[in-house]
Structure 1
């Protein structure tokens, strides 16, 4: 059972890593006339919220006895990885903002 949970958590982490790797680079976005940064950020926040919602839904189903434990663990692990990624991005944005504020005018 522990092996299944670890495999499920690893699969959730891999899905998150794949979605991060699929983001276009700044040059690709400019060249193709694609989305701007705010659109990418909005999309990422929406996806993070959806993952959190799925995790909560699975937890409620498990409490009601309607969900498989492996599915619940996978959903919670995916939500945890997503939260860690969002927190890391937030910290980097704040750090960059603080560096910009420190620059002399």
Structure 2
């Protein structure tokens, strides 16, 4: 093994943060997915509360339209992701064993 590559590996290992056990420096996929689901849930809950307030006359109609547009976008994104997952699953099933 070359001495320069040994020093480079040692410097790389030393530069990794101690708080990152995987050493990848990137967020975990499960954490990213959980955060996305939390954002989706928050968007739906906020839109629902604005819609309830609009029914009682407490909310601005512009806020209602904006909330409905955000909800529509979030649902369309979720449906698109679901369709891609189903499509990938079907491709896996079509693979020869």
Check whether TM > 0.5. yes
- 1:87-98 to structure 2, matched below 5 A, reads 87-98=79-90
Q: CA deviation at 1:57?
A: 0.3
| Secondary structure, aligned partner of 1:35 | coil
Question: Residue 3 of structure 1 aligns with which residue?
Answer: none
Greater helix content = 1
Q: CA deviation at 1:94?
A: 1.0
TM-score normalized by the length of structure 1: 0.66
Match of 2:34 among 33, 37, 42: 42
Figure out how many residues of one structure are paired with residues of the other and give that number: 76
Question: Which stretches in structure 2 are left out of the alignment for 5+ residues?
Answer: 1-21
| Secondary structure, aligned partner of 1:66 | coil
Deviations 1:54-80 (A, max 9, x none): 100000011111110000110011000
Question: Which stretches in structure 1 are left out of the alignment for 5+ residues?
Answer: 1-29
- Give the structure with higher Rg (CA): 2
TM-score normalized by the length of structure 2: 0.71
- 1:62-101 to structure 2, matched below 5 A, reads 62-101=54-93
Where do 4+ consecutive residues of structure 1 move more than 3 Å?
A: none
State the superposition RMSD in angstroms: 1.7
Alpha-carbon distance in 1 for matches of 2:83, 2:77: 10
